[in-house]
Amino acid sequence: MALKFKYNKSALYELSQQLVVRQKALPTLKSKEAALRLEIKKIKDKALAYEAQLNQRLDDVTNLARLWVEFEEGLVKLKTASYQTRTIAGVKIPVLDTLAFELAEISQYHKPDWFLDGIHILEDLTRLRLLHQVAARATEILEYARKKTTQKVNLYEKVQIPEYQEAIRKIKRFLEDEENLGKASQKILKKRLQKSVTV
């Protein structure tokens, strides 16, 4: 959409102010975009590391598949998972804070010895899965914010700043032409007045 403006000094002032605002905001937006790109890369790497750890742990557990048949359901439950928010370049992302598990009462005399190890394995798998999910969600949030920031940078840099500069140039030319015409008409009027006085 083309920029609409009037050819007068107040419009020139308003456009100049808007241009200054955008020119001052542009470096900040570029810095934010760069920070978001860097943070996205870090969090993606973390998510991949969590996924690799989770897959490795699952591979280790599949060797014990015959034993898991004996493992009773409901021995380990996730009681609470608390999250915090972390702000990166003005964008809030979730961070897993603490996990609390609820363990059912088990008798070590009546259950196999590996049940305690199984409980620790389940806690570890749950923790890794949640860390991966939180990192994936944080990546989505940051990607969306980076995309919006990139759009704003492009809007300012490639559309609005050039439009404002062009509009200011046109208004200045118009006002200069108007001033020159005014001076020229004053000179003509002055010459006519001088001729009429001498005659």
Tens-place pLDDT, residues 73-128:
777 788 888 899 999 989 999 999 888 888 777 666 666 666 677 778 888 888 99
The CA distances from residue 124 to 55, 129, 135, 158, in Å, are 12, 9, 16, 50
Q: Residue 187: what pLDDT? A: 84
Q: Residue 181: what pLDDT? A: 87
Give the model confidence (pLDDT) of 145-192 as tens digits: 999 999 999 999 999 999 999 999 999 999 898 888 888 888 888 888
Is pLDDT above 70 for 70? no
* Cα first-last separation, the chain: 59
C-alpha 26/C-alpha 42 separation (Å) is 25
Is pLDDT above 70 for 47? yes
pLDDT band at 45; cut points 50, 70, 90? very high
The CA distances from residue 98 to 91, 155, 184, in Å, are 22, 41, 80
Among candidate residues 108, 117, 103, the one with its CA nearest the CA of residue 61: 117
Q: Residue 58: what pLDDT? A: 86
Residue found by looking up tokens 């557990």 in the block: 61
* Range 9-193 classified under CATH 1.10.287.3240: yes
Show me where the domains of the chain are located.
9-193
Burial class (CB in 10 A: 0-12, 13-18, 19+), 93: buried
Give the model confidence (pLDDT) of 48-67 as tens digits: 999 999 999 888 887 776 66
Tell me the helices (H) and strands (E) count for the chain, helix number first. Answer: 4, 2
